Structures are given as structure tokens and as C-alpha cells.
A and B are shown apart, each in its own frame.
Chain A
């Protein structure tokens, strides 16, 4: 198993787990905060894990984000460059519907697979500087490792929250 397969298989496993965890959730359930008024709801987690994957993918490839190029911000009623998120904006983030938030996730995941599949061995070691000069430069391999780790942790959180909303026995 090479580096590419390890990353892509990890994302594919997370994708299957995520689909099971969000299946049939209503907009109210996507916005619910069963762990308290300042905790991250499922809808925001989906948006955040997708935005992170999109932004780091854009950095790795040097191409525009899916958020910008496919104008997903319009579907969420947000700016192309949203203000950085604070607790209040997490509490009120509106994922619109399961179809819309998962549509954005699907578009970004498809893009990740597209660019990650064609990487050659040498591409993994290519340095990819951060837009913010205070942040460290990362190799493409490091960016993929961060994407996988971030997505999979948040998928675990989504599954946990679904368990809280619908109680035990769903998984």
C-alpha cells in the first residue's frame, strides 16, 4: 500500500461512516446542540470539516476553492470570504438542509479525490507555503495527513452527536 492509497482509503472509510451518521437528519437536528449551548452542532461540523478540506486542497493544488469556484457561499447566504467563526456564529450557523450541506461536502470530496489520485511520488514532498506568512510551510503529504486527521475526528464527533440526538442503538 502506497502513500496515496493510505490517504484515499482513509477518506473513503470516513465518507462511508459519515453518510451513515447523517442519514435522515432534519435541519433542526443539524442545528441542535445536545452537548450544551456552546457546543458545535452537526451542521457546523459538516461545514467546518468540508471547508478545511477545501482550503487545504486549494493550498496543495494552487487552484481556487470549490467554495469559491462553484459559488457554494451563495447557497449558504454567506460571503465568499466569511468572517472568522466565533461561538455565536457557530451557534447560529444555518446548514440550510441535509442535501445542501452534504452537496457541498460531496463536491469537495470529489475534488480531493480528483487531485489526490494523480499525485506522483515527488509531488508529496513539494512544499506548499501558507497564505499567512506566520504559519509554517507544509508539504503536500503533510496537508493530506492534516485533512485526513481533521475529517476523521469530526466524523467521529458527528457520529457521537447523532447518538446523543437519537440515543443508543442506531449504529
Chain B
């Protein structure tokens, strides 16, 4: 097994955590904040999917699903590829509304399919090539970028699972 397959396996684990954690949540539950400054499940899931869409689309050299496949319309947001939540104020986090849990999962799964497709064509050698990004000197490699988005996404998936426990109480996972 090579690097790209291990990355694909890690993205697959994320998909099942999100499906389990979002199952049956109402639109109101997606906005619950356990404290005034904390991120709710809806925003976290949107931000996580947006980050993966941005990073992997850049690596694959294609337009984001958010723009190309019209996902932004389902969230009533502009077709802005630079809008993925990083640096959002808490006011914006609070104001964010996902239509429902299924739309969030559908967008995530659409991004996931594109990521899986990209990884199926990638080789371990290609993971060592620098990415085309002049904000960093030297630019990071494809592998470093993938580790970065996987780490970010997996941490947020852990937060979503924790919040699901907060909303549904003990035993929701069993």
C-alpha cells in the first residue's frame, strides 16, 4: 500500500464519522453552541468540507465543487472560492445557517468523491512534488498539503462528534 491509498483510507474514516454524527439532527440542532464563543456542528461541517474542497481542488487543478457544481446556491451563499470559513468572526459563525443536515452531508460526500478520484490517480512520487503556491518559500509538497487538510478535517470531525454527544447525551454512538 502506498501513500495515496493511506490518505484515501483516512478520508474514508472521516466520511463515516460525519455520517454517524449528523444523522437525524434538526436544522436547529446544527446551530447549538455550548458556549457563546464556540463553533456549532453546522458551521464546523461546512468549514471542514469547504477546506477539503479548496485544498484538493487546488492540488487537482480543477474548479471547486462549491462553484462548479453550484453547491453555493444550496447554502444561499455567493460563488466565492475563497470563502471557506477560516478567520470567520464569531458573529458570522453564529449567523451561518445550513439548510439541513442532509445538504451538509451531500456537499461533504460530493467533495469526498472528488478527493477519492484525485487520490486514485496520484502516486507516492507525485506526493513529493512541490505545490504551485507562491505564498510559501519553499512551497509545501503535495503530501504536506494532504497531511495538513487531513489533520484539520479530522480535528473538526472530532469536535463534531463531541458536540453530538453534548446534544444527544450518553450512548448516541453505540
Contacts and interface: CB of A to CB of B under 8 A. Distances in A.
Interface stretch (B23-31, B103-111, B139-147): B139-147
A13 B143 CA distance: 13
Given A38-B169, A163-B38, A156 B158 contact: yes
Contacts of A160: 38-39, 159, 162
Nearest to B37: A168
A53 to B, nearest CB: 15
B57 interface: no
B3 interface: yes
A2 B2 contact: yes
Given A3-B6, A6-B7, A156 B154 contact: yes
Interface stretch (A59-67, A100-108, A146-154): A146-154
Contacts of A141: 1, 6
Contact of B2 (A3, A13, A34): A3
Given A36-B166, A152-B151, A160-B159, A145 B10 contact: yes
Contacts of A129: none
A135 to B, nearest CB: 16
B82 to A, nearest CB: 21
Interface residues of B, number: 41
B13 to A, nearest CB: 5
B90 interface: yes
Contact of A13 (B124, B127, B147, B156): B147
Interface in A10-68: 10, 13-14, 17, 34-36, 38-40
B19 interface: no
B127 A1 contact: yes
A157 B159 contact: yes
Counting chain A residues whose Cβ lies within 8 A of the other chain, the interface size class is 35 or more
Contacts of B10: 10, 145, 148-149
B147 A145 contact: no
Contact of B17 (A3, A6, A153): A153
> Ordered nearest first, which 8 A-B pairs have the shortest CB separation?
A156-B155, A153-B158, A1-B143, A1-B127, A156-B158, A168-B37, A152-B154, A1-B3
Interface of B: 1-3, 6-7, 9-10, 13, 17, 34-39, 90, 124, 127-128, 141-144, 146-148, 150-151, 154-159, 161-163, 165-166, 169-170
21 contacts: A1-B3, A2-B3, A3-B6, A5-B3, A7-B6, A10-B147, A10-B150, A36-B166, A39-B166, A145-B6, A148-B154, A152-B150, A152-B154, A153-B158, A155-B155, A157-B162, A160-B38, A163-B37, A164-B34, A164-B35, A168-B90
